[in-house]
Amino acid sequence: MKFIDEAEVDVRAGDGGRGCVAFLREKYKPRGGPSGGDGGGGGDVVCVVDPGITTLLDFKFQPLIRAGRGEHGRGKQQHGKRGEDREMRVPPGTIVTDADTGELMSDMRQPAERAIVARGGRGGRGNAHFATPTNQAPRYAQPGMPGEHRRLRLGLHLMADVGLVGYPNVGKSTLISAVSAARPRIADYPFTTLVPHLGVVRFDDEGSFVLADIPGLIEGAHRGRGLGDRFLRHLSRTGLLLHLIDISGINGRDPLADYDAINHELAAFDRMLAAKPQVVVANKMDLAEARERYPAVQARFAERGVELWAISAATGDGVPALMREVGKRWRRLRATAAAAQTARLDDALPLPPGQGKGKGEGIR
């Protein structure tokens, strides 16, 4: 299955049904008066979050999504049936925007979350509504209103807790396959990973987090070089970054220069990404070249105030301890965010009478 994280789709809500012009003709009621019923309202187009979907592939084959129109009114004040709603099932983390105006329609995150993206038209009223003492037999009714028509742009931002970043071939895919059930392609050439992969990592008996493997970044990724510009946005929802570097020197690159280059790309794409806390990891310690260079590289990072973790994703050395540390940091970040949200809610609540914030504000 292809990983599609962008799509555009036309959505059209249902039109409202016409009101009816009718007059009651029954036995013993030859002139029963106006009896036209109302038209039914048009159906809405509704986005629904489905956790079982991981891509926007389905919308590549649906150029138009249309809701049902409302039925027309009938005689004897019979109202038309409302049109059926049409659901668009999207994966968690989908951002819906109006393609014409750029307006943010909805940010879909929670399972079963719903958002109306196009509202159906209102049904017209029948002539029974327009009878007056001076016009007891109105011969007109309202037409149904058209439903909304929008061109939507869907963008998927993966719902991950921790993001893996680094140059190509530093061992990101090997690491995520070692700590989770994710099985990305692993090979000894650049850009083996072409799409993001998610894996659930359990770091202790009570905690787990979602780890995202993002395709390798290179210099100029924010301008479209490599694959970085397509997938950098998937790091926006992460709370912590796991920054892998290769210190073996086999590829001829300088580890500290790689570290600075990746952070520059993150800042150029979005300064909020560069501001996220990072755990910096020296990978491929199973190689003799990496073990020889590690003390010097560690000293250079220490001068920057950066702690360097040493692991081998291929053999698993140091990986359990690293995952426990990442899990603890992520748990602290989540607790801090929850406390901040609680504080904001408390500030928004009205104070009881007589408990003003300032001096002399209380009611006496």
Q: Which residue has the higher pLDDT, 15 or 215?
A: 15
- Please give the full DSSP string across 44-94, using - where no structure is assigned: PEEEEE-TT----GGGGG-SEEEPPPPPPPBTTTBPPPPPPPEEEEE-TTE
In a domain, 146, yes or no: yes
Taking the C-alpha atoms of residue 115 and residue 109, their distance in angstroms, rounded to an integer, is 11
Please tell me whether residues 174 and 103 are part of one structural domain: no
DSSP, collapsed to helix, strand or coil, labels residue 201 as strand
Is the model's pLDDT at 362 over the cut of 80? Answer: no
* CATH number (domain holding residue 252): 3.40.50.300
Q: Which residue has the higher pLDDT, 34 or 235?
A: 34
Q: How confident is the model at residue 269 (pLDDT cuts 50, 70, 90)?
A: confident
Please tell me whether residues 193 and 335 are part of one structural domain: yes
Q: What's the pLDDT score for residue 353?
A: 63
In a domain, 354, yes or no: no
Tell me the pTM.
0.71
Please tell me whether residues 151 and 191 are part of one structural domain: no
Please tell me whether residues 204 and 277 are part of one structural domain: yes
Q: How confident is the model at residue 334 (pLDDT cuts 50, 70, 90)?
A: confident
Question: What confidence tens digit (pLDDT) does each residue in 169-186 have?
Answer: 888 888 888 888 766 555
Please tell me whether residues 89 and 189 are part of one structural domain: no
In a domain, 362, yes or no: no
Which among 11, 13, 14 has a CA at the least distance from the CA of 39? 14
In a domain, 350, yes or no: no
Total length of the chain: 364
Question: What confidence tens digit (pLDDT) does each residue in 136-155 have?
Answer: 889 999 999 999 999 999 98
Domain span at 63 = 1-132+141-156
* CATH number (domain holding residue 122): 2.70.210.12
Question: What confidence tens digit (pLDDT) does each residue in 55-92 have?
Answer: 888 888 888 999 999 999 999 999 999 999 999 999 88
Determine phi and psi for 278, rounding to 5 degrees. -125, 150
Please tell me whether residues 184 and 45 are part of one structural domain: no
Please tell me whether residues 104 and 191 are part of one structural domain: no
Question: Could you tell me what percent of the chain has a pLDDT over 70?
Answer: 86
Please tell me whether residues 212 and 152 are part of one structural domain: no
Q: How confident is the model at residue 226 (pLDDT cuts 50, 70, 90)?
A: low
Q: How confident is the model at residue 272 (pLDDT cuts 50, 70, 90)?
A: confident
Please tell me whether residues 209 and 101 are part of one structural domain: no
Q: Which amino acid is present at 72?
A: H
In a domain, 363, yes or no: no
In a domain, 282, yes or no: yes
In a domain, 357, yes or no: no
Q: Residue 231 carries which DSSP code?
A: H
In a domain, 359, yes or no: no
Determine phi and psi for 32, rounding to 5 degrees. -75, -10
Please tell me whether residues 166 and 147 are part of one structural domain: no
Please tell me whether residues 43 and 107 are part of one structural domain: yes
Q: How many domains does the chain have?
A: 2
Please tell me whether residues 215 and 152 are part of one structural domain: no
